[in-house]
A and B are shown apart, each in its own frame.
Chain A
Amino acid sequence: MTTVTTTAVERAYEPTIGLEIHVQLRTRTKMFCGCALSFGDEPNTHTCQICLGHPGTLPVPNAEAIHFALMIGLALECELSPRSIFHRKNYFYPDLPKGYQISQFDIPLWGHGRLGEVRVHRVHLEEDAAKLVHAGSSGRIHGAEASVVDFNRGGTPLVEIVTEPDLTSPAQAGEWLRLLRATLGRLGVSDVNMDEGSLRCDANVSIRPVGTADLGTKTELKNMNSFRFLERGVAAEIARQEEIVRGGGQVVQETLHYDPTSGTLTPLRSKEESHDYRYFPEPDLVPLAPTEAMMARAREALPELPAARAERFERELALAPETAKLLAFRSELGDFFEAGLAGAAPSDEGGRGDAGAANGSGAATDPRTLASWITVELVSRLGDANPADSPVEPAALAELVRMVSAREVSGSAAKEVLDAMAAEGGQPSSIVAERGLGLAAADELGAIVDRAIDENPDAVEKIRSGKNKAMGAIVGSVMRETKGRADGGEVGRMVRERLGLG
Chain B
Amino acid sequence: MIDREQVLHVARLARLELSEAEVERMATELSGILDHIERIGELDLDHVEPTSHVVALENVLRADEPESSLSRERALAGAPDAADAGFRVPSPGAS
Contacts and interface: CB of A to CB of B under 8 A. Distances in A.
B31 to A, nearest CB: 20
B25 interface: no
Given A63-B63, A145-B90, A47 B53 contact: no
B61 A42 contact: no
A46 B15 CA distance: 29
Interface in A111-147: 132-138, 141-142, 144-147
Interface stretch (A275-283, A345-353, A390-398): A275-283
A35 B89 contact: no
A35 B69 contact: yes
A44 B86 contact: yes
A145 B91 contact: yes
A47 B69 contact: yes
A149 B75 contact: no
Contacts of B85: 42-44, 148, 150
Interface string B66-95: 111111100110000101111111111111
B75 A44 contact: yes
Interface string A26-43: 011100011110000011
B52 A136 contact: no
Contacts, number: 151
A83 interface: yes
Contact of A283 (B13, B52, B64): B52
Contacts of A42: 72, 85
Contacts of B19: none
Interface in B9-60: 9, 12-13, 15, 52-53, 55, 57-60
Interface residues of B, number: 39
B65 interface: yes
The interface centre, meaning the residue of B12, B15, B67, B86 with most chain A CB atoms within 10 A of its CB, is: B86
Contacts of A497: none
B84 A138 contact: yes
Contact of A34 (B13, B66, B84): B66
Interface stretch (A220-228, A284-292, A362-370): A284-292
Secondary structure dominating the interface of A: loop
Contacts of A94: 87, 89, 92
A52 B86 CA distance: 12
Contact of A44 (B66, B72, B92): B72
Contacts of A48: 67, 69-70, 75
A286 B58 contact: yes
Given A28-B64, A43-B85, A283-B53, A144 B58 contact: no
B87 to A, nearest CB: 4
Nearest to B9: A273
Contacts of A147: 88-92
B87 A148 contact: yes
B83 A138 contact: yes
A141 B95 CA distance: 10
B75 to A, nearest CB: 5
Interface residues of A, number: 60
Given A92-B15, A138-B84, A283-B52, A46 B69 contact: yes
A272 interface: yes
Interface string A75-96: 0000000010100000011100
A153 to B, nearest CB: 12
Nearest to A54: B78
A135 B13 contact: no
A18 B43 CA distance: 42
B94 A144 contact: yes
B75 A145 contact: no
Nearest to A132: B92
Nearest to B85: A43
A34 B90 contact: no
Nearest to A134: B91
A29 B90 contact: no
A94 B57 CA distance: 33
The interface centre, meaning the residue of A34, A44, A135 with most chain B CB atoms within 10 A of its CB, is: A44
A327 interface: no
Nearest to B63: A63
B90 A136 contact: no
A151 B75 contact: yes
B76 A269 contact: no
Given A47-B69, A61-B60, 19 more contacts: A27-B64, A28-B66, A44-B87, A45-B72, A49-B70, A62-B61, A63-B61, A64-B64, A135-B83, A138-B83, A146-B94, A148-B83, A150-B85, A151-B75, A276-B13, A285-B60, A286-B57, A287-B57, A288-B58
21 contacts: A34-B67, A43-B72, A44-B76, A46-B69, A47-B69, A60-B61, A63-B61, A63-B64, A66-B61, A133-B86, A138-B83, A138-B84, A141-B89, A146-B91, A150-B85, A273-B12, A278-B13, A283-B53, A287-B53, A287-B57, A288-B58
Interface of A: 27-29, 33-36, 42-49, 52, 60-66, 83, 85, 92-94, 132-138, 141-142, 144-151, 269, 272-273, 276, 278, 281, 283, 285-291, 294
List 8 A-B pairs, minimum CB-CB distance, nearest first.
A34-B67, A64-B64, A148-B86, A145-B94, A63-B61, A145-B91, A281-B52, A138-B83
